[in-house]
Amino acid sequence: MQKLKIINEYFNIEDTLTCGQVFRFKPYKDGYLIISADKACYAKQVDNGVELEFNDNDRDYFYNYFDLDRDYSSIFNHANSDSVEVVKTSARLGKGIRILNQDKVEMVFSFIVSQNNNIPRIKGILEKLCLALGEKKTFLDTEYYTFPTVEKMAKMNVEFYKSIGLGYRAEYIYNLAVSDTFSKDFQSFNNLSTKELIDNLLKIKGVGRKVADCISLFGFHREDCFPVDTWIEKVYREDFKGELTDRNKITEFFISRYGKNSGYIQQYLFYYKRSLEKLKK
């Protein structure tokens, strides 16, 4: 076991986990237990930073996972000097958000589950999926389940996927599991341009532009992506006073505006808009 303390004003563990980019984490002893692919990590906020704890062999994985090599100051400053008020406000609220480098395969399945769905339900479905098909492991005296292998998922049938609450998405998940999407050159997607990457992801049934953008951003760390969902559409309409209705065009609007910082600023805005809604109750 190994501990690592990160002192960085641009790293808040709660904001990073609850901003909507990751689904498999839960409160644990003054902090959080985070599960990614087959690995687990404990993280807790301390006065001036974040304390991480993981297995010795997972040091590089989680160092990269939390994007710790990146300097977030210029990203934050870009947002915090924008002419639109909501961008500045959201950046200050989400100053501690980092874009995680999550497992690519897990991101593809997870964001197919996310379509026309809400975050609590997405978390519940993924939890059931891992409980049923993942491998049981122990970390810090607590049990967790790995994300299932594609091979294991391919052995199930559509009825199983419906039984864990996937609804009409069950067929997308099943068809993807039995496809050859991940067996051939999926890892070489790394070498593609962002546009080529998105075009390839769009070939998967159940993956549209928004889901492809999320996979590209959260799995491949493509910063020049700006996923547009119902919340971002609300920001666009209410705070930017935008007139466009086509989500593709709204995406292009934001990318041409924010360039390489699109993904980060999108996360600031998404987190902010959703936080407001939670506050109402």
Partner DNA sequence: ATCCAGGGAGAAG
Partner DNA sequence: CTTCTCCATGGA
Residue 211 within binding range of DNA, rule CB under 7 A: yes
- Considering the rule CB under 7 A, would residue 120 count as an interface residue with DNA? yes
State the minimum distance, in angstroms, from the CB of residue 137 to DNA.
26
Candidate residues 29, 46, 168, 259; the one interacting with DNA per rule CB under 7 A = 168
Q: Per-residue string for binding with DNA, 35-74, x by CB under 7 A?
A: ----------------------------------------
Structure tokens at 115: 């379509």
| Interaction between residue 133 and DNA (CB under 7 A) | no
The least distance separating DNA from the CB of residue 148, rounded to whole angstroms, comes to 20
Backbone angles phi, psi at 5, to 5 degrees: -105, 125
Q: Which residues of 145-178 are buried (b: 16+ CB within 10 A; e: fewer)?
A: bbbbbbeebeebeeebbbebbbeebbebbbebbe
With CB under 7 A as the rule, give the number of residues binding DNA. Answer: 42
Q: What span, in angstroms and rounded, lies between the C-alpha atoms of 82 and 160?
A: 48
List, in order, residues 6 or more apart from 124 with CB less than 8 Å away: 165
- Say which DSSP state 188 is in: G
- 209 binding DNA? (CB under 7 A): yes
Residues that bind DNA in the complex, under the rule CB under 7 A: 19-21, 114-122, 162, 165, 167-168, 202, 204-212, 214, 227-232, 234, 245-247, 266-267, 270, 274, 281
